[in-house]
A = this chain, B = another copy of it.
Amino acid sequence: MVEAATRLIERLARVLQNDAHKHGLKPAQWEALRYLAAANRFSRSPGALTAWLGVTKGTVSQTLQALERKGLIEKRPAPGDRRGVRLDLTEAGDRLLADDPMGDLDAAVAGLPREAREALGASLEAVLKAMLARRGGRPFGACRSCMHFRPNHDRGAPHLCNLLNEPLSVEDGERICVEQEAAA
């Protein structure tokens, strides 16, 4: 037999994918847009997006071309590596995200009582971690919760990334990072 929760997750995933056709975008395009809005500057690259989505880089390249054609993102050379590309949302991309179809899910989740919401988060985190471990995917947590994060570093910038040796703003600390490695 199959766990009831398993079936529910499966069905919910399908419903979500159906909703993700708003405004003429595809599910994968919405996911890319959301990622770019939430990732820090070291992680707004095709490569990082590839790892986040878990698809091949060829696929990501095409999705990014589609988003660029629609004027929702911009590509520019990455500072410090002439092979790389730095991705940024345009104004239009930012505006479109206000109508993210995922907002409906968020509203539904917000409708749960507080303890249920917290328990849901904890259980989902455990399940996701197990799934990622099984396949060797990166966790992609917030910069702030990373072992390379040095808070209150106080040398011109609030914080510091000890891996890349880069200054971090307070806002940076909240963003998603490809390099994130859970603190001990």
Contact = CB atoms under 8 A, between A and B. Distances in A.
Interface of A: 2-6, 8-19, 31, 34, 53-55, 102, 104-112, 116-117, 119-128, 130-132, 134-135, 137
Contacts of A15: 54, 128, 131-132, 135, 137
Interface of chain A: mostly helix, strand, loop or mixed: helix
Nearest to A126: B112
Contact of A3 (B2, B16, B17, B109): B109
Given A6-B109, A13-B17, A105-B127, 9 more contacts: A2-B102, A5-B109, A8-B121, A9-B109, A10-B31, A16-B131, A18-B54, A111-B130, A120-B124
